Structure 1
Amino acid sequence: MDQAVAPLLDADGFLYVFGYGSLIWKPGFPHAAMLPALLRGFHRRFCIWSTHHRGTPERPGLVLGLDRGGACRGVLFRVEPADAAAALAYLDAREMIGGVYERRMVTARLLPGGEFKRAVTFVAVRGLDSYCRALAPEAAAAAIAAGVGLSGANRDYLLNTVAELRSLGVRDAGLDRIAALLPPD
């Protein structure tokens, strides 16, 4: 076992990763299970200007981050201990571009009403220029409609996230409002 990974494992010996946005529909790392979960103390919000994955420096897109306060329904990915180091390396390479996220240990609750698990997740860094203070839904929709980056169209990111959340029985009123304001494709 990689000594850097051992402190990140839950008491049951597995690594858990809390996903709240694109990880839900495109995890990109091996996992043994994807389990509905609730994280308190953070909420999902379009709060990061993307100049790489979903936009460019000339026309930034917006991506989701976990921001302070509230609660967020998402998923816990259960990762086998043998896959934990590779999963973390992949996630760090994917999520830490530009330092817009901070990798953090959190405690999330399995749903419905299940046990608590220690998990790794990625939280928005508020002190950066890439952090987006609250935008009106119309302004967020306009940025998302125009954003295209190395990972594709920003609108696809939003719509895929909304669709996957709905398939899990999760309705996110903020995301639904922004999606309803997107101009026709």
Structure 2
Amino acid sequence: MPNSPFSPSAPAHTEAAAERDHWVFAYGSLMWNPGFAFVERVEATLVGAHRALCIYSFHHRGTPEHPGLVLGLDSGGSCRGIAYKVAAADWPQTHVYLTEREQISGVYRETTRRVNLKDAARTNAPAVAYVANRAHPQYARGLGLEDQLHMVRRSHGLSGPNRDYVLATVDALAAMGIVDSGLSWIAHRLRDGQG
């Protein structure tokens, strides 16, 4: 499946890759907390996958006893987010950082996908993206909004409360003019103390 968002691609840290700048596609916490140096930040769209609260978090936003929920790129649709351009000289350390942050348990697969850039001078670029591994035990399949709200409300991990993660993401999306109906429903109830 060469065009699948879940197909592995050439590693993003090969010798040839070290000689060029890289793009990283952000759709969740990387939008508001990238944690790495970049030379450009451009709104972008990835086609073939959508943003979803589909990953059980046992580390950053929850524990094995009380898992949180974090975002993944799940199959189908499209996703608006941010593309960060990382200078070639910074890529090796950035890739190490992203691997440590995103690949704790293997629930995300690192792929390289073309994203459409919201930039008059360019139309698209290859970007490193982290997509949900549906075969992993931490893939959260078929949770309704009420269940998602319950898990987000009660969970806390090494990076803080799960609710803060969801609210910061909704705020980052709103700043871009994006309304994610499911996330917005959860955020509204978190802010109002409902659920």
Q: Same fold (TM over 0.5)?
A: yes
Aligned runs of 1:35-50 on 2, under 5 Å? Answer: 35-50=42-57
Can you list the C-alpha shifts for 1:140-179, whole angstroms capped at 9, x where unaligned?
0110001100000000000000001111222211211221
Q: Does 1:184 align with 2:189?
A: no
Amino acid at match of 1:163: D
Amino acid at match of 2:29: S
User: 1:4 aligned to 4, 7, 14, which one?
Assistant: 14
The equivalent of 2:79 in structure 1 is 72
Gaps of 5+ in 2: 1-11
Answer whether contact 1:62 1:140 (CA < 8 A) is retained.
Answer: yes
Separation in structure 1 between the aligned mates of residue 164 and residue 23 of structure 2, nearest angstrom: 26
Q: Does 1:139 align with 2:135?
A: no
How far did residue 180 of structure 1 move? 2.1
The equivalent of 1:95 in structure 2 is 102
The equivalent of 2:27 in structure 1 is 20
Can you list the C-alpha shifts for 1:98-147, whole angstroms capped at 9, x where unaligned?
11101001000002675110000100110011100121111101100011
User: 1:115 aligned to 103, 123, 133, which one?
Assistant: 123
Separation in structure 2 between the aligned mates of residue 147 and residue 6 of structure 1, nearest angstrom: 42
Q: Normalized against structure 1, the TM-score is what? A: 0.92
Amino acid at match of 1:6: A
- 1:177/1:122 CA distance change after superposition, 3 Å: same
- 1:56/1:30 CA distance change after superposition, 3 Å: same
Separation in structure 2 between the aligned mates of residue 5 and residue 160 of structure 1, nearest angstrom: 36
Moved over 6 A (4+): none
Cα RMSD after superposing both structures: 1.9
How far did residue 8 of structure 1 move? 7.7
- 1:154/1:82 CA distance change after superposition, 3 Å: same
Q: Normalized against structure 2, the TM-score is what? A: 0.87
Separation in structure 1 between the aligned mates of residue 22 and residue 51 of structure 2, nearest angstrom: 22
Query: Any idea what SS the aligned residue of 1:93 has?
Result: helix
Aligned runs of 1:162-181 on 2, under 5 Å? Answer: 162-181=170-189
% identity of equivalent residues: 44
The equivalent of 1:124 in structure 2 is 132
The equivalent of 2:69 in structure 1 is 62
Answer whether contact 1:8 1:105 (CA < 8 A) is retained.
Answer: no
Separation in structure 2 between the aligned mates of residue 42 and residue 101 of structure 1, nearest angstrom: 13
Separation in structure 1 between the aligned mates of residue 32 and residue 13 of structure 2, nearest angstrom: 30
Gaps of 5+ in 1: none
